[in-house]
Structure 1
């Protein structure tokens, strides 16, 4: 297992360590953003990229809840996380995964929306997802899934997380061609672009400590 010290995000300000309170608050915000974003997309019948998109896609054929599918799809990625990303990152990601599964189920009980325009759902939902993923990444955690792979690629090879995530998302959308109508597929693509725009613009080396 790799040492946590060798896997620090290149954007982390190494001069100021996060406290436990900082990490908990950042992870809570990430979970909140993602849970709301997912439910906005779900209300409009859209999918998105990454593990959430895979769960939403499987949801078309399964009676299991999205929260449960999200957790199950994440299992192989969590195994990869444990092998490649270090103990601290893995434990944080597992905690986020459990919290997000529960929060995704809770949001519809706390907030009921009768109508969401597809454009609003795509742009705002996608942006919320990107904000959530970014908040988690800044505190050495992720939602698991393909996000673990993209963060590992950025740490090891310097490949921008947003760009690699976009490529993986394209694979998810290719599979969705079998299920979604063209209008929903186009709106879903817009949501994925909104999400990855957040990562490509803000998840860069030095951006966190003001060096770029």
Structure 2
């Protein structure tokens, strides 16, 4: 009896267990969610942590666009990513950073907020950005910068990526405290905490079993 043909599969699966098509949509989804989060953040005049937070602060201080600053700030971290996480990880991260840099320039012209209170925006930013980062992590990428270091430490020591990022964010927010009005500082801190809680709770390698 003739056996039924096997269902088509995504060719050449990567080390994450996902194939190129799955990885492509994961990178696009993760970058788009992060760009949407940045759109919310900059609309409210808030900041965040990690290298994105550094890029946001520099964009406020200089008047330059977030996207190009974010792209340049991440460049020094690719060597660490290559040495510690491999070429595939660095290439995916480079693509994700480039997508975020591009989308963060495009989305503000496509989205308008009739009403968006700071506390609601901070929580929404944290949720969508956390979801975007989780998608990128699951597909073997990050948004560069401290994310590369955080993933490396989690792979090597088991210390959660979210907690590493929270420590870095604490240092960055010490600087932001002197630059922002108190209310915007508090709402910014809330958004960063939500991002890192989402990652710390949900980013577990044993939950990611691709089939």
TM, length-normalised to structure 1: 0.89
Pairs within 5 Å for 1:68-147: 68-147=68-147
What whole-Å deviation, never above 9, does each CA across 1:107-150 have from its counterpart, x for those lacking one? 01111224421011100011111111110000000110111110
**Secondary structure class of the residue paired with 1:194:** helix
Pairs within 5 Å for 1:1-212: 17-209=17-209
Question: 2 CA distance for matches of 1:23 and 1:106?
Answer: 23
Question: 2 CA distance for matches of 1:63 and 1:127?
Answer: 27
Which sections of structure 2, spanning at least 5 residues, go unmatched? Answer: 1-14
- Give the Å deviation of 1:46: 0.4
Question: 2 CA distance for matches of 1:99 and 1:65?
Answer: 15
| Alpha carbons 1:77, 1:148 under 8 Å: kept | yes
Question: 2 CA distance for matches of 1:43 and 1:60?
Answer: 12
- Give the Å deviation of 1:70: 0.6
Deviates more, 1:57-66 or 1:160-169: 57-66
Moved over 4 A (4+): none
The size of the alignment, in residue pairs, is 196
Question: 2 CA distance for matches of 1:124 and 1:112?
Answer: 15
Select the structure of larger CA radius of gyration.
2
Aligned to 1:5: none
Which sections of structure 1, spanning at least 5 residues, go unmatched? Answer: 1-7
What whole-Å deviation, never above 9, does each CA across 1:30-72 have from its counterpart, x for those lacking one? 0111000111011111001111100011112213210011111
**Secondary structure class of the residue paired with 2:205:** coil
Deviates more, 1:150-159 or 1:114-123: 114-123
Q: CA RMSD in A?
A: 1.4
| Alpha carbons 1:33, 1:128 under 8 Å: kept | yes
TM, length-normalised to structure 2: 0.89
Question: 1 CA distance for matches of 2:21 and 2:47?
Answer: 33
| Alpha carbons 1:43, 1:116 under 8 Å: kept | no
